[in-house]
Structure 1
Amino acid sequence: MRERIKHLRGDSFFDENLNIFLNRELESFTTTQHTHDFVEISYVGEGCGYHYLEDQVIPIKQGDLFVIPIGTSHVYRPSSPKQDKTLVIYNCIFRVELLNDWKHLLQNDSYTYNIIYEPSQCSERWLHFQDKHDTFSTMIQSMYTEYLKRNVGFETLLIAMVVQMLVLLQRFELKNEAEPATFSKLDEVVHFIKFNYTQNITVQHVADYFYLSASHFQRLFKKTTGLTFTQYLQNVRIQKCCELLKSTDIPIYQIANQVGYLDMKFFHALFRKKTGITPRQYRQNFQEFEDKATSY
């Protein structure tokens, strides 16, 4: 390992004599979104807030666990800048080479394996798991205590606990994938989306509603529909926009707001991407078609 690798949260460093690092971080609004060249396992120990991952924002709470591979952009932020809104994250970071001798313990076709060793092969460049039964809470706190005390052999124990954590994550993944290849609750999910599309719903909201992990829900949903959750939600919203543009005289910005888009620049770019024309052109084209139809 390189000498004194600076941890991206600021003033914490790898010890040059160690291959693994742990800390307990009180998150703030001052940290910028960043990437890193090590693997990070992070666990929400206290509070709630948001995890900015690539171009997504995921609401988080106590018990959320993330495996963040090399090159994934992210940052944690509390739900409010006020000091009474705290967000405590336990971080375990290490070089991927540290686990090279343990590859054979994971199935090489599993998402857990790929997120560590082949993140470019993953549809989502992170693994998210909600620790509903506190399976990992005791483990991560024991690891942090072990790191602070640094008794004889502590680094070996830490590596073993990382491997144990990954094996358990894979076990949960494979247990979920024992379900039918098609999503048996798809009709319910589609109904949920069409009923709530005007709200700021996320993958995590829907996954929690149906008692699934976000990553597993994403895989089932895409396997069944051929679309990611975000793509499907966008299609529903744009379809509703088209209906309102054709059937009403409501201003375009109000239509965008009604279907869940407050950022007009993003809305116009998305609408053009989905339809090939702007919302104004879509409305004009329909009105011209109607005028011609009534003239015959």
Structure 2
Amino acid sequence: MTDNSIQNFSKGERLLPYASLFQTDHESQQLPIFVNRVHESFDLVMHAHDFIEICMVTEGTGFHYIGDDQMPVSRGDLFFIPVGISHVFRPSSTAKGRSLIMYNCIFTTGQLDKLLQAVYADPQISDLLSELNKAGQWLHVRDRNEEGQQLFHKLHDEFTSRKPGFTANLCATTIELLIMVYRRWLEKSQPQTMQQQQPTPSASASMQQIVEQIDANCTAELHVADMAAQLGISERHFQRGFKKATGMTFLDYVQSARIDLSCKLLLRTDARISEIAVQVGYQDMKFFNELFKKKTGVTPRQYRLSPK
């Protein structure tokens, strides 16, 4: 960041340098990537930094004040924040005690260039991310299929456990995260281009798109009224058409999609069962356990321990 950028800060703002993220551990200060998991509060003032930050909301709701913008945020909101952008997250005062929890992946501009060069990244990816950083333009996308959640969990585990080879894994997983951000941006900014890359839809394309939307966002709050409104039909008509297209009711399909996702998380992660329940959209552990057994025939613990 230039001196001018620092001088442009208003009263109450602060600059966070990359070195300030580490404590006195000299070895840690040499790490190419910093990762943390934080409970956002009202303590941190509006700030900018001399590094690039990719951050994602994993629990709770709140607001993101960034530049001159303010937006509500919830689980799955992901941001690419370049050098010099002033921002801060605040928990929602109506969250009834639920924390606003974030994961952050942080690295310098030089490290971004090294990561992209190391894997011979497509020029489009390198150009977009580099230009965003140079122009001071932030990016907002949404997680899909828990891909971002899993990548951040892996990053945090590697950063905190310091297992042999963890530095290489940090870099490799950050590259995956950067590519995911690019793909979500492409889907958001060029939907027609992305649609052209998909197979030709069937005659029931509208309902099929709804099914794909549920598959991609099964952990979100999904309502029949919203889905029916997208198709311009009544809820009753939607329910009949949905069951005809899938063989299941809307509620049963959403529940099955969530249980399928929880099965993957049970096998692919070391997260506690209670954490996985929350990740897939269930706060009530008793209900989650009963639903899981109803769908799979075994408890979540038995599923995790069973040979696959």
Alignment TM-score, normalising by the size of structure 1: 0.52
Partner residue, 1:170: 182
Partner residue, 2:100: 87
Aligned match for 1:6, one of 16, 20, 43: 20
Partner residue, 1:131: 143
Matches within 5 A, 1:17-96: 17-80=30-93, 84-96=97-109
Instruction: Please give the per-residue CA displacement for 1:123-181, whole angstroms capped at 9, x wherever unaligned.
Output: xx211111132111111011101111001110111111111111122233334525169
1:168 counterpart SS class: helix
Distance 1:13 1:36, change over 3 A: farther
Instruction: Please give the per-residue CA displacement for 1:16-68, whole angstroms capped at 9, x wherever unaligned.
Output: 22121111111101211111000111111110100110010111001111111
Give 1:120 shift: 4.0
The count of corresponding residues between Structure 1 and Structure 2 is 178
Aligned match for 2:167, one of 155, 170, 174: 155
Q: Which runs of 5+ in 2 are unaligned?
A: 1-16, 195-225, 231-308
Q: Distance in 1 between matches of 2:151 and 2:24?
A: 22
Q: Distance in 2 between matches of 1:82 and 1:169?
A: 28
Distance 1:141 1:12, change over 3 A: farther
Give 1:4 shift: 7.8
Distance 1:42 1:4, change over 3 A: closer
Conservation of the 8 A alpha-carbon contact between 1:146 and 1:158: yes
Instruction: Please give the per-residue CA displacement for 1:52-86, whole angstroms capped at 9, x wherever unaligned.
Output: 10010111001111111101111011011888131
Q: What is the one-letter code of the residue matched to 1:58?
A: M
Q: Distance in 2 between matches of 1:130 and 1:4?
A: 26
Distance 1:161 1:4, change over 3 A: closer
Q: What is the one-letter code of the residue matched to 1:61?
A: S
Larger Rg: 1
Conservation of the 8 A alpha-carbon contact between 1:6 and 1:13: no
CA RMSD of aligned residues (A): 3.4
Give 1:102 shift: 3.6
2:175 counterpart SS class: helix
Q: Which runs of 5+ in 1 are unaligned?
A: 182-207, 212-296
Conservation of the 8 A alpha-carbon contact between 1:114 and 1:121: no
Q: Distance in 2 between matches of 1:119 and 1:154?
A: 26
Q: Distance in 1 between matches of 2:87 and 2:25?
A: 19
Q: Distance in 1 between matches of 2:98 and 2:24?
A: 23
Give 1:11 shift: 7.7
Matches within 5 A, 1:269-280: none
**2:114 matched to 1:114?**
no
2:112 counterpart SS class: helix
Distance 1:165 1:4, change over 3 A: closer
Q: What is the one-letter code of the residue matched to 1:173?
A: W
Q: Distance in 1 between matches of 2:169 and 2:70?
A: 34
Q: Distance in 2 between matches of 1:58 and 1:12?
A: 36
Instruction: Please give the per-residue CA displacement for 1:187-207, whole angstroms capped at 9, x wherever unaligned.
Output: xxxxxxxxxxxxxxxxxxxxx
Conservation of the 8 A alpha-carbon contact between 1:47 and 1:87: yes
% identical equivalent positions: 32
Conservation of the 8 A alpha-carbon contact between 1:39 and 1:116: no
1:146 counterpart SS class: helix
Q: Distance in 2 between matches of 1:36 and 1:120?
A: 14
